[in-house]
A and B are shown apart, each in its own frame.
Chain A
Amino acid sequence: MSLNIIVLAKQVPDTRNVGKDAMKADGTINRAALPAIFNPEDLNALEQALRLKDANPGSTITLLTMGLPRASEIIREAIYRGADTGIVLTDRTLGGADTLATSYTLAQAVKKFGNYDIILGGRQAIDGDTAQVGPQIAEKLGLPQVTYAEEILDLKDGKVTIKRRLENGVETVVAPLPCVVTVNGSAADCRPRNARRVQKYKYAVSPSEKEKLSDEMKAIVDARPYLNLQEWSAAYVDADPEQIGLPGSPTKVKAIENVVFTAKESLTLGNDDEAIENLVKELIANHTIG
């Protein structure tokens, strides 16, 4: 059967390579100093979506992202890897959204999109690490949710079987479709960009990007409908202005503290098996490892 798959993704600052200018004086992230990347676990989610598409020919994958207009970069990135198209949900009024406002807005966009079989997203984004948006969307849409998914094992007869990665092992669950699945970083890495797709879609643009193109490039984009990405506004998804952006965000950051870890005490070990064995035992006893 062919599926209509939505992948939720976010463009995030690359917090894995943080320099000393990564934070502004007020404790907020200095986005200009960090390269913007495809949130890693959203790539894991995209790979699961692509596998569903491989197994169910004729399926379509739509990437849905909320963010600045430049978030269309990750839509192209997803299309290069096999997604079909994408929507950037962008609006000045959406700025400053916490997870509640974000999940509300995305849920509205999903409702507007309609007709979907499964919604996939990364477990969490590396800029906030809350892991709340996926589950909140499921709640708002009244859908079942499967979190910490590591692998979609099977999808048939309106049901999906999923392996979840939990702290102490794995759990296999079955959920009815449609449902929301958030994918763990331990899932398979996303496949690489495809050479032919990169050449085909490299000029794909959102309406706001298209405006900045030369007439010659505009003509090329006009002649090839698949190069036109969508941009949706808050009004387009019928979002209540009170529930989006800053006004819709009850979370307020009181303070951010820069914590630098330093070793307070040190231990010198003997260079023999017994000393090492004792250390391992101690580390297991205090739950550092094991």
Chain B
Amino acid sequence: MANFYNDNPDLKHHLTHPLMRKIIELKERNYTDAEKYDYAPFNYDDAMDSYEKVLEIAGEISGDIVAPNAESVDHEGPHVVDGHVVYAEGTQKNLDALVKAGLMGISLPRRYNGLNFSLVPYIMAADMVSRADAGFVNIWGLQDCAETIYEFADEDQRMRYLPRVCAGETMAMDLTEPDAGSDLQAVMLKATPDEANGCWRLNGVKRFITNGDGEIALVLARSEDGTKDGRGLSMFIYDKNDGGVTVRRIENKMGIKGSPTCELVFKNAKAELCGSRKLGLIKYVMALMNGARLGIAAQSVGVSEAAYREALAYARDRRQFGKAIIEFPAVYEMLSVMKAKLDASRSLLYETTRFVDMYKTYEDIARERSLTAEEKAEMKSYSKLADAFTPLAKGMGSEYCNQNAYDCVQVHGGSGFMKDYACERIYRDARITSIYEGTTQLQVVAAIRHVTTGTYLNRIHTYEQEEIAEAYKSLKDELVKMTALYAEAVEKVTGAKDSEYLDFMARRLVEMAGNIIMSYLLILDASRNESFDHSARVYCKMAQAEVAKHADFIANFAPNQVEEYKQA
């Protein structure tokens, strides 16, 4: 009997962030849906109460159903029967419970039978489901592909597909191919118009497709004959009911084994165009990936949480040399750093989610009426922040997730290396978070322009202006010094006007920005809620050392020294 919402008060802290009032007001269009739908809220308190009640359901399912099934799902895994995926028994049970609970289409508008929730509670549910079973969250979390249909498909398509997602049908995004992984411009799956039947036909192979046998798939395919780059690609919707796609095999993975990673064969599969031709990669996949990256950031935080809790419980329980191992400095330092990284990445996750919520909600309002100049400016500013923070949350969150999983095994000592404890599964599951939906290295590529254009620095200055509790004034003084080191490092690297040198140093600069931002976020959290005090202090200490380390490296490094690192 565990409830992953009620047993983790940090979630409520983030759910009730001051900006939520504005986000929900915008999302609910000043609560006008209450007249049309009997489940729509009539004011902020009512909406927040509903968010909490629904998160309690997600927390209960995560704790009572998904988490207890995680081990058997990891062992059993999905398999292919007659070209289609059959989930592990536990996976199917998890999915049934979440569907019956109505936790599909959480953020979709009510006219498609969605809950019209802001992204924050949706991401929070993903955070909890990931803590329960990181592999399962992929299947459930692919519901955010529906956002892409909502944003780019026409109304007829929305009416046909979105209610099905809300009723529990699962989705997939079919992007990668054997020769098109990180480089999606190389996608070859061929789309040909079938004018006689008023549809498109897809032929080719997709590889590494999560939940590839989902009922509704978004497929990136080459619609423009003779093209070779991203501009020849369009997005299609494939409905499994129409047939034409079979699962050739399921990959045998290191972790997240419950999530079927499929190789798909398209044989004249019927499909329909989503949005406009040629915008598949350059517009729609970019939007899809940003949503997916936020999802992986949530998954990373959830896995980090699981790792921290397993380590903490073991360290309290395990006795050596006459006392619990948690009493040894080497162990308690590890645990407090784990908690600090967990809290820092979670604060960054929800800060990012609020930014996405703000600009997406404005974008949605703009579909109904034109925005005021002030609203437009606000949308633009949040859109930029979302763009800057998403790779940071995904990149650093997934690295922290891996570090926490590593330390979790370490705290368990020899027992952690055995299959008897959950930590070995967590360790394997964590490993993918810094790889898929863009490796950490690619997150750095996405983030670096916000280092060079000053998005991060401007935001850091905004945090500097915010009211904080008296107790954190001295920590803030340190952060101001760290910011100066960061600005200096940025100036040195960008001043050299050497793009290879910039690429070489990009990870360090992005991490410095991330360290400072997460420090500020934790101080702000601690100012609002003293339970974050410990993490704020521990994280700032760690961040200070990290920033100094990177600053030192950059200060003592001449651009031409990049040559010394080149490998044949």
Residues of A within 8 A of B (CB): 191-200, 202, 220, 224, 226
- Whether A192 lies near B101 (C-beta < 8 A) is yes
Give the residue among A192, A198, A220 with the most B Cβ atoms within 10 A.
A192
Closest B residue, CB atoms, query A191? B100
Alpha-carbon separation in the docked complex, A193 to B54 (Å) = 9
- Quote the shortest CB–CB distance from A206 to chain B (angstroms): 19
Given A192-B60, A192-B61, A198 contacting B53 (CB threshold 8 A): yes
Interface string of B43-74 (1 = CB under 8 A from A): 00000011001100100110000000000000
Residues in B neighbouring A220, C-beta threshold 8 A: 42
Most buried by B among A193, A200, A202: A193
Tell me, yes or no, whether B103 is within 8 Å of chain A by CB: yes
Q: Is the CB of A200 within 8 A of B101?
A: no
With a cutoff of 8 Å between Cβ atoms, the chain A residues found around residue B60 in the complex are 192-193
In the bound complex, residues from chain A placing their C-beta under 8 Å from that of B106 are 195
Contact sample, A vs B, 6 pairs, CB 8 Å cutoff: A192-B97, A195-B57, A195-B106, A196-B102, A199-B40, A199-B115
Complex CA–CA separation, A198 to B103 (angstroms): 12
Bound-state CA distance A224–B40 (Å) is 13
Alpha-carbon distance between A226 and B39 when the two chains are bound, in angstroms = 12
Q: How far is the CA of A202 from the CA of B103 in the complex (A)?
A: 17
Give the residue name and chain of the B residue nearest to A203 (CB).
B46
Main secondary structure of the interface of A (DSSP, over half): helix
B216 to chain A minimum Cβ distance, whole angstroms, is 21
Task: Give 1 or 0 for each of B24-46: 1 = CB within 8 Å of chain A CB.
Answer: 00000000000000111110000
6 closest residue pairs by CB, A with B: A199-B39, A195-B102, A192-B101, A200-B39, A191-B100, A195-B54
| A-B interface contact total, Cβ < 8 Å | 47
Pairwise interchain contact B57-A198, C-beta atoms closer than 8 A: yes
**What residues on B are CB-neighbors of A200 within 8 Å?**
38-39
B28 to chain A minimum Cβ distance, whole angstroms, is: 12
Q: Which residues of A have CB within 8 Å of B57?
A: 192-195, 198
Question: Hey, what's the 0/1 contact readout for B98-141 against A, CB within 8 Å counting as 1?
Answer: 00111100100000000100000000000000000000000000
**A200 CA / B42 CA spacing, docked (Å):** 12
User: Which residues does B use to contact A, with CB under 8 Å?
Assistant: 38-42, 49-50, 53-54, 57, 60-61, 97, 100-103, 106, 115
Whole-angstrom CA separation of A198 from B39 in the bound complex: 8
| B-side contacts of A196, CB under 8 Å | 39, 102, 115
Which of B60, B101, B106 lies at the interface centre, i.e. has the most chain A CB atoms within 10 A of its CB?
B101
Give every chain A residue within 8 A of B101 (Cβ-Cβ). 191-195
Closest chain-A Cβ to B421's Cβ sits at a distance in Å of: 23
Complex contacts, A195 vs chain B, CB 8 Å: 54, 57, 101-103, 106, 115
Inter-subunit contact B49/A194 (CB<8 Å): no
Q: A202 touching B53 by the CB < 8 A rule?
A: yes
Cα A17 to Cα B50 with chains together (Å): 28
Known contacts A197-B102, A199-B41; A191/B97 CB under 8 A: yes
Contact A224 B38 (CB under 8 A): yes
The distance in angstroms between the C-alpha atoms of A239 and B137, with both chains bound, is: 53
CB distance from B49 to the nearest CB of A (A): 7
Please pick, from A192, A198, A199, A202, the residue contacting B100 in the complex, using a CB distance under 8 A.
A192
Chain B residue with Cβ nearest A224: B38
Contacts of A199 in B (CB 8 A): 39-41, 50, 53-54, 115
Report the nearest B residue to A195, measured CB to CB. Answer: B102
Question: How many Å lie between the Cα of A196 and that of B97 in the bound state?
Answer: 14
- Whether A194 touches B41, Cβ cut-off 8 Å, given contacts A199-B53, A202-B49, is no
Pick from A191, A196, A197, A200 the residue with the most CB of B within 10 Å: A196
Cα–Cα distance between A120 and B127 once the two chains are bound (Å)? 38
Q: Which residues in A have their C-beta under 8 angstroms from that of B41?
A: 199
Instruction: Output the least CB separation between B345 and chain A (Å).
Output: 27
> Apart from A192-B57, A194-B101, A194-B102, what 20 extra A-B contacts exist at CB < 8 Å?
A191-B100, A191-B101, A192-B97, A192-B100, A193-B60, A193-B101, A195-B57, A195-B101, A195-B103, A195-B106, A196-B39, A196-B115, A197-B39, A198-B54, A198-B57, A199-B39, A199-B50, A199-B53, A200-B39, A202-B50
Q: Could you tell me the distance between the alpha carbons of A200 and B110 in the complex, rounded to whole angstroms?
A: 13
Nearest CB in chain A: distance from B146 CB, A: 16
Chain A residue nearest to B42 (CB atoms) is A220
Residues in A neighbouring B38, C-beta threshold 8 A:
200, 224, 226
Residue on B nearest A226 in the bound complex, by CB: B38
| Contact (Cβ within 8 A) A198 B50 | yes
